[in-house]
Structure 1
Amino acid sequence: MQRLIGELNAGDQAKPDIIHLQQTPLLNRGICLDFKLLEAAKKAGVPVLHTVHNVLPHDSGDHLRNIYGQLYNGVDHLICHDITAAHRLNEEFSIPLKKISVIGHGPLFAPAHAPKEWEIHNARRLLNLPENASIVLWQGIHAPYKGVDVLLEAWKLALAQGLQDVVPSPLLLIAGSGPKDFEATIRLAAQHLGGTVRADLRYIETRELPLYYTAADILAYPYRAITTSGALLTGLTYAKPIIASRLPAFEGYLDDRGNAILVEPGNAEQLGMAILCLLKSHAAANIGNVGGEAVCYLQLKSAALKNTSRYISWGQIGNDTVAVYQRCVASSRR
């Protein structure tokens, strides 16, 4: 970034047509190099675009609100991923809606088709997972806002409500890395929940991640808050029933009792009941039932097969982004 700032300040003839900021990790640590870039770009007549993946950084409270307000008002244009985020930018930071473009997010990766039975069995074999287990998957980089602690408490409550009596082999699979103290908390909780929780707490390579999604029966997103979730978009591509928090960023992709069960964020009791009911339904469907208790799981799974209609392709995202570039550049040259 410092090199780019130097080139812009020097009036380099080969200056870019536009600068697109995606992430601002230095700003999150109080290092304001981004503002020097904005100043240099303005001096050079180069428009700056920023994609707002999260209106405010995760788990940051309000202590970065002022500095992000400066950023949002300082750039020439903003992209966000849904209308809710656009309205927050307008209402909380006084950004004119004409300065904001809404372009959807895409999945981080996707299978060519909904996993077939043999692919599910193969994924479980490669991950050394029980073939006949009813598996709920949480996958990601651990952080407080993602609600793993709520999920573990919910699992504990489901067990207390007789989960193992109605589901032969329930398994909560937590996969991903995070801060050491956070991992230690998860390991301890998993130990207290016996053999019903498996914690794969490590960096999982991209080539391995599809195995986890393929192996699962249900995907869990117990987030406390989120603006955009590539993890959810990825989960949608695997056509699995989902249990998630009732958040605006999720409700654009999930219909309660349609392709998902939605619960209030942070509510372990609701989440535990959803887990118990859906795993019970899955167990009934797994032995060939198509009515009664099996209906809930089968209906969600059927709806999930249509998830591809709920998000746009990366090709469309690319085209929409280029169109924003063109408008920004044209505006800067008037």
Structure 2
Amino acid sequence: MPPMKLCIMKQDILYIDPQSYGNLAAYDYNLLTNTQKDILYIHSQKYDYKAMNLPGKPWFKYNKLHSSLAKVLSYALTYAKIFCLIMCWRPRIIHVQWFKMPTFDYYFYKWTKRLFRFRLVFTAHNVLPHNSGKRYQSIYGKLYAICDAIVVHTSCTKKEIHQMFHIGKEKIHVIEHGILKIPVDIQRYEQSLQLYRQKYHLQGKIVFVSLGEQSPYKGIDLLAKIWTQNKELYDNDDICLLLVGKQKEINLRQVANCKNVIVENRHIPNDEFLYLLRAADVYLLPYRQISQSGALLTAISERIPVLVSRVGGLTDPLKIAPIGWEIDKLDEKGLKEALMSIIKAPKKIKDIKENFQAWEKVAEHYSWKRIGNETTKLYNTMIGQS
């Protein structure tokens, strides 16, 4: 995204996302192109979505480095540039998407707010970072306290932040996560989809899929355990399990030995994510913890039926229309029963895929135009308070 000359206006907004690549780049693009405000977008050099018709600065490069020390120094230097920009530009609002170094971020925003008196908005995609336990609970309490507004994607996340950190409900705003659509070359897609079906021997099978990071917080260890211990799953030629993505704090070697399971421990680029997703009959989200999932909303955009656990906002789309299944209880028995109920009724998969009215209803609810309008209203309120 080429840098553009800035129009220096006091009501303008800095939108900062250190993690802007993959689904997060798609999120930023869809939100910002539907928000009617003057915004400068500070993002990662790894940004890999469509170019936006608004000013952008690809300043974050820490996530292209390997050394931990180099990452820390790079992140701090980027924020030194941001400090200079704030000093010269004096924005009314700074909207942050991720705190990658929470202690550093806390002191940076605490002191820059005192110096320059902007309003700080933070989007809490999750209450606390994934797989972190209570390690960051104290510092996130301080971060939430200095924010003037916190955006969350579900009402249950709002309730959790309110109860855990004693943050006033009036400061927490529910603005849902929109449906993520990955752009694709149709001709290349058709060729690649056929190649994947042949490579993984997917023809004529019920294909269960989990893509992206494979991790315990996503419940993938539980899924792998159930699959390897139940003959109805591991010895069934009519089904296939596809687990493709980088593995984090998880060992999938045993399930990879099952004849109907494909495991690939590697990063998936956006286009391949889409090709593999479209090969799925059911997308699996047996999460132990989550606020909302970009993968869920990408699956919905491709009209892939989903199997979800009852955490965070995963079941919210199913309350709008019957586009998948819920896991009654996320344990070995509950997940196995959910999988077996799908396997025993393959016609229901077809019925869900062809329920066009249901998919349209969900798409309308999660439209980016509506989400952009709600974000614009929040910005206007914050500017009015400054």
When the two structures are superposed, what TM-score results if normalisation uses the length of structure 2? Answer: 0.71
What corresponds to 2:381 in structure 1? 327
What corresponds to 1:285 in structure 2? none
Amino acid at match of 2:316: G
Say which SS state the counterpart of residue 89 (structure 2) adopts.
coil
Structure 1 distance, partners of 2:367, 2:130, is 26
Change in CA separation of 1:162 and 1:42 when aligned onto 2, cut-off 3 Å: closer
Structure 1 distance, partners of 2:372, 2:215, is 29
CA RMSD, Structure 1 to Structure 2 (Å):
2.7
Amino acid at match of 1:92: M
Amino acid at match of 2:120: V
Change in CA separation of 1:308 and 1:153 when aligned onto 2, cut-off 3 Å: farther
- Number of aligned residue pairs: give it: 301
Structure 2 distance, partners of 1:256, 1:271, is 23
2:208 is aligned with 1:170:
no
Question: Offset of 1:133 from its aligned partner?
Answer: 2.4
Match of 1:233 among 297, 313, 318: 297
Amino acid at match of 1:101: H
Match of 2:372 among 286, 296, 318: 318
Amino acid at match of 2:343: L
Say which SS state the counterpart of residue 336 (structure 2) adopts.
helix
Please list the CA deviations of residues 292-324 of structure 1 after superposition, one character each: whole Å capped at 9, or x if unmatched: xx3x43444345762342242223322222221
Change in CA separation of 1:120 and 1:298 when aligned onto 2, cut-off 3 Å: farther
Say which SS state the counterpart of residue 381 (structure 2) adopts.
helix
Q: Which runs of 5+ in 2 are unaligned?
A: 1-78
- 8 Å Cα contact 1:138/1:174 also seen in 2: yes
2:94 is aligned with 1:19:
yes
Please list the CA deviations of residues 94-122 of structure 1 after superposition, one character each: whole Å capped at 9, or x if unmatched: 2222212211102332589xx9xxx8896
Match of 1:101 among 160, 173, 198: 173
2:275 is aligned with 1:189:
no
Please list the CA deviations of residues 150-201 of structure 1 after superposition, one character each: whole Å capped at 9, or x if unmatched: 11122234x423774xx5431100111134x63xx2133311x2x2100122
Match of 1:60 among 129, 132, 135: 132
What corresponds to 1:152 in structure 2? 224
What corresponds to 1:242 in structure 2? 306
2:287 is aligned with 1:210:
no
Amino acid at match of 1:5: F
Structure 2 distance, partners of 1:92, 1:244, is 25
Q: Percent identity?
A: 26
Match of 2:157 among 80, 85, 89: 85
When the two structures are superposed, what TM-score results if normalisation uses the length of structure 1? Answer: 0.81
Amino acid at match of 1:32: F
Please list the CA deviations of residues 205-251 of structure 1 after superposition, one character each: whole Å capped at 9, or x if unmatched: 11111111111111111111111111111111222222221224112
Q: Please identify, of 65-74 and 312-321, the stretch whose mean Cα deviation from structure 2 is larger.
A: 312-321
Structure 1 distance, partners of 2:150, 2:121, is 6
Q: Which has the higher contact order (CA 8 A, sep 6+)?
A: 1
Say which SS state the counterpart of residue 89 (structure 1) adopts.
helix
- 8 Å Cα contact 1:111/1:237 also seen in 2: no
- 8 Å Cα contact 1:107/1:231 also seen in 2: no
2:205 is aligned with 1:133:
yes
What corresponds to 1:272 in structure 2? 336
Structure 1 distance, partners of 2:255, 2:285, is 18
Structure 2 distance, partners of 1:254, 1:281, is 18
Structure 2 distance, partners of 1:24, 1:139, is 24
